[in-house]
Amino acid sequence: DIQMTQSPSTLSASVGDRVTITCRASQSISSWLAWYQQKPGKAPKLLIYKASSLDSGVPSRFSGGGSGTEFTLTISSLQPDDFATYYCQQYDSYPYTFGQGTKLEI
Amino acid sequence: QVQLQESGPGLVKPSETLSLTCTVSGDSITGYYWSWIRQPPGKGLEWIGYIYYTGSTNYNPSLKSRVTISLDTSKNQFSLKLSSVTAADTAIYYCARNLYYESWFDPWGQGTLVTVSS
């Protein structure tokens, strides 16, 4: 299985901050990576697919980058609605695997 | 737009079989891949497996011996059965769509909590 490791596990930030979350794969996954946002009691919501493609309706302050084994999710200016847990997911090969999550807190 | 809704018992006894159904509305089940994912309370996400509209399946090896995913195209539904459950199978179970053979999950159902307890 491909192991996905996110850092940090918890990130404290303030409204207006620029933040970056990193996701590392245990082997190359090309650009086959997605990012999700999950709020308490809700299902994950797709933000980004193919490492850097923004899903429809997702604010442009979100951006994704990277390829191979190292990927980033950047929020350019944090808004109150962005405080949530973020997960990366590889879909290069089965079984699909997720990172352990990064909790973004105030 | 397509919407998914999980349904099934919220409590299952140890050693019994967990059974859930996902009902798809707003689009046909035909042409896509349909997955089950679970999340133990307060923990991360684990992909369980998928079924293609043709009926072909692919399961996570960690659960393969206990999992069966099936579909009913006439009802636009697909289902999950997980046998011989233990407390470790307590989780929120989500259904989700994959557009392609290897792709992201979107959209997701709201999830349903299944507790394994006697």
Give the N- to C-terminal CA distance of chain A in Å, as an integer.
34
Residue B4's closest chain A neighbor by CA?
A43
Best mutation site among B95, B105, B113 for testing chain A: the one with the most A CBs within 10 Å? B105
Nearest CB to B60 within list A49, A95, A100: A95
Going from the C-alpha of A70 to that of each of A16, A35, A90, B38, B104, the distances in angstroms are: 25, 13, 11, 25, 18
Tokens of B53: 């509209």
Contact B105 A45 (CB under 8 A): no
- Residues in B touching A43 (Cβ below 8 Å): 94, 108-111
Nearest to B37 by CA among A96, A103, A25, A23: A96
- The predicted structure's pLDDT at residue B99: 86
Could you tell me how many CB contacts below 8 A there are between chain A and chain B? 53
Could you write out the DSSP letters of every residue in B3-62? EEEEES-SEE-TTS-EEEEEEEESS-STTSEEEEEEE-TTS--EEEEEEETTS-EEE-TT
Helix (H, G, I), strand (E, B) or coil at A18: coil
Contact A98 B44 (CB under 8 A): yes
Give pLDDT tens digits for A7-48. Answer: 999 999 999 999 999 999 999 999 999 999 999 999 999 999
Give pLDDT tens digits for A37-76. Answer: 999 999 999 999 999 999 999 999 999 999 999 999 999 9
- The predicted structure's pLDDT at residue B101: 84
- The predicted structure's pLDDT at residue A43: 98
Per-residue tens of pLDDT for chain B, all 118 residues: 999 999 999 999 999 999 999 999 999 999 899 999 999 999 999 999 999 999 999 999 999 999 999 999 999 999 999 999 999 999 999 999 998 888 999 999 999 999 999 9
Percent of chain A with pLDDT over 90: 99
Q: Give the position of tokens 């299902």.
A: A43
- The predicted structure's pLDDT at residue A71: 98
- What is the DSSP pairing of strand A19-25 with strand A70-75? antiparallel
Check residue B66 and report its DSSP letter.
T
